[in-house]
Structure 1
């Protein structure tokens, strides 16, 4: 009896050790693995639709699903990212060469709104110091983006290797996803009902967060880029992509771009353009966020808006761009675990045996 217990504990210890080692082995591939799982979840209904019609050809239906995903998602993202990088580098070079004088533009805003400087002085803030810090921050941000854009170009091989691994894994997850889920439920020692609930929550939140946030972000970025182009403002694609990225942050998002742009236009005397951009930003771009995000993200994830905001920001800080999906997912799993705990263990005999 003692020998059997020792062997069991030794095996569990070895199992945990090997599992941890394997997780560390896969750590460099965390991003492609996560996005392969997310894409497979999102496009799985398409695969089921095709598979129900052609059940004898699972490989073909999975390949067609992957091809659709590549055409609708991967290729457009690559094209926009390439154009974005080119415009960032071109803008930074213009600022560095003096063709665009950022300090002069800040002074024009200062002269147009003298009351703003007086307000800052009453708050104990020196405008000149603030101006220097803004210029320094702008140059640092521009330098960071430009250097990383160049680094991305130099690491093109690594990027495409990761992209290839993601697409390769996505094919198998689309085709064998249901089998792998059943295997995972069988392997995990949490109780089948709990595991099914947690995996269902994982799928639900992943779909809602990625689809919802991306729909909101792309819609806001596209509208912002279009209005910049319609008003004849420079680099509309660049600012449209920036608004798309910032729109991943609930509540504030795209306003970090269009609001300062509207203020600048008003400051330099372009009253019509500034007013149009301001009205369009408030009435159209912000309305998209206020209407679509609670419907597409908050409702499906069943998370309060403030939890979505904090988990999204925290996820972006911890995991980079993938954090907009990982953050709310962790928050939803956290709430799901505690709901299970309160329902099944509190004031129950199981809690006393823990």
Structure 2
């Protein structure tokens, strides 16, 4: 009888514990993604926080010194983009509904080119008919597109609120992170044993590969794009830079940003600025990832591009904007852990052929 009572008490305790954990999850569910993003960011930037602590700053002071610049760096471009979307939509509506936009005539030097001058001039003039059809189509769908853009602006504002919660959680992760990290390491040691340090090293490398190498490079290219748009006088600089951030993750996808804008500048008779913008992207923005990415990440982690792409798109659909960071990070970490596990298994088979249970006699 005491055994049965003890079994019932244990079952009731487990049920109560599960119910308590479920209740905690329901309370924290709206902030799980925010806390996950804060944990990822604090993990990859922990060395900088540790250096601040070396200067005899308290945990609160060091956490504040970390969160303030990170918050300004992350929020400023997106706040500017969110606030600029309504004005950009109104300006686009005025531009499309305004006076006719004629394609400029072919320049004299183009007609004077030997052998190809006449054909090039005819091709140039054919663009006028195509551009008029494109503008007519754009005017037809202007209202639905503007409504969609405004909805995206409202959605972006909601994402900024979540980003604010992430920064708040980031502050506490910095301030109390050392104790929490020690608890996490103890938990990992109980689960993974002697493999704990290797697993943590893999997680750290994959996180830095995504956050620094992939997304950090795309952010640098987006900021350079915004600068180029501002110099050329393009009206939707911050909104276009926001779109460039996502496109720059995909090789050569940045062409979808600068090429239509260069064509628009040509239509407005600004051939010089159109050539400047094309050169800016081809010679500067398009080459940033060639030298910046190797500086930001270690060559120890080679991540398949398709994994990063699916992580970004899937994270965006599942978690919103913050999923752009979380999605590829999770996939990259799982990929690195699986690769390490498979390599260790192959190494064990090569070094100990009898481990698979086969008789080699």
- TM-score norm. by structure 1 comes to 0.73
Kindly indicate whether the alpha-carbon contact (under 8 Å) linking 1:250 and 1:289 is maintained by their aligned counterparts in 2: no
CA distance in 2, matches of 1:326, 1:152: 17
Residue 126 of structure 2 is matched in structure 1 by 114
Alignment of 1:33 onto 2:35: yes
Unaligned residue ranges in structure 2 (runs of 5+): 105-122
SS in 2 for 1:302: coil
Residue 71 of structure 1 is matched in structure 2 by 68
Q: What's the CA shift for 1:28?
A: 0.3
SS in 1 for 2:284: helix
List aligned pairs for 1:145-156, cutoff 5 A.
145-150=149-154
SS in 1 for 2:229: helix
Between stretches 40-49 and 133-142, larger displacement belongs to 133-142
Residue 220 of structure 2 is matched in structure 1 by 219
CA distance in 2, matches of 1:83, 1:164: 15
Kindly indicate whether the alpha-carbon contact (under 8 Å) linking 1:298 and 1:308 is maintained by their aligned counterparts in 2: no
Residue 303 of structure 1 is matched in structure 2 by 303
Alignment of 1:92 onto 2:89: yes
Cα distance change, pair 190–25 in 1 and its aligned pair in 2 (3 A) = same
Kindly indicate whether the alpha-carbon contact (under 8 Å) linking 2:226 and 2:237 is maintained by their aligned counterparts in 1: yes
List aligned pairs for 1:87-236, cutoff 5 A.
87-96=84-93, 98-101=94-97, 108=103, 114=126, 139-150=143-154, 162=162, 165-187=165-187, 190-236=191-237
Structure with the bigger RCO (C-alpha within 8 Å, sep 6+) is 2
Residue 277 of structure 1 is matched in structure 2 by 277
Kindly indicate whether the alpha-carbon contact (under 8 Å) linking 1:250 and 1:309 is maintained by their aligned counterparts in 2: yes
Unaligned residue ranges in structure 1 (runs of 5+): 55-59, 119-126
Q: What's the CA shift for 1:288?
A: 1.1
Residue 111 of structure 2 is matched in structure 1 by none
Q: What's the CA shift for 1:19?
A: 4.0
Kindly indicate whether the alpha-carbon contact (under 8 Å) linking 1:251 and 1:289 is maintained by their aligned counterparts in 2: no
Q: Displaced runs of 4+ in structure 1, greater than 6 A? A: 2-14, 115-118, 130-133, 345-352
SS in 2 for 1:250: coil
Q: What's the CA shift for 1:5?
A: 8.6
CA distance in 1, matches of 2:310, 2:128: 31
Cα distance change, pair 5–297 in 1 and its aligned pair in 2 (3 A) = farther
- TM-score norm. by structure 2 comes to 0.72
Kindly indicate whether the alpha-carbon contact (under 8 Å) linking 1:186 and 1:192 is maintained by their aligned counterparts in 2: no
Residue 83 of structure 1 is matched in structure 2 by 80
Alignment RMSD, CA only?
A: 4.2
Kindly indicate whether the alpha-carbon contact (under 8 Å) linking 1:313 and 1:324 is maintained by their aligned counterparts in 2: yes
CA distance in 2, matches of 1:102, 1:338: 58
Cα distance change, pair 103–208 in 1 and its aligned pair in 2 (3 A) = farther
CA distance in 1, matches of 2:11, 2:81: 55
Kindly indicate whether the alpha-carbon contact (under 8 Å) linking 1:243 and 1:254 is maintained by their aligned counterparts in 2: yes
Q: Deviations over 1:237-281 (max 9, x none)?
A: 33333323433x321443321121112223444322222211221
Residue 44 of structure 1 is matched in structure 2 by 46
CA distance in 2, matches of 1:144, 1:113: 33
The structure whose Rg is larger is: 2
